[in-house]
Structure 1
Amino acid sequence: MALAFGRRFGKAPIFQGQEAPTAWLSNTGLAQGLFGYPVVPLDAMIDWTAHWLQNDMGSLGKATHFEVRSGTY
């Protein structure tokens, strides 16, 4: 994702810290069975988000907690 957004913004992402020795994996099979495969391609979603950010279209200012690995936020 960082590389994809970096290409759209014309900047190289800067990675900090260390990768964790384990990874979170998710099986979306159940969700796809219930809701179907997403109709919007990932590249389109990235383009839309980049456009939103480049045009200062606002944010709720909420933390993502993407770095949290304990499962509690």
Structure 2
Amino acid sequence: MSRKLARHGEAFQVLPTSSTLPDSVRSLALLAAAEAHKDAGTVCAATFRKATGLGGKRAIQVLEFFNRGV
């Protein structure tokens, strides 16, 4: 079902095993942008992990999603 939502633009395939709703992606993007603003345009995975409460692997997957430019 989550892949179907992603195909229709109602969710984003942020993680390989699950889809994320647009509001959640927007919130994560705002956190990433705030972290980038603090450090000359870069985001440290550890700092992003702490800001989001995600685990290390998940935080890196989210940052890779944003890095792909989706």
Q: Do the structures match in fold with TM over 0.5?
A: no
Larger radius of gyration: 1
Q: Which has the higher helix share?
A: 2
Higher relative contact order (CA 8 A, sep 6+): 1
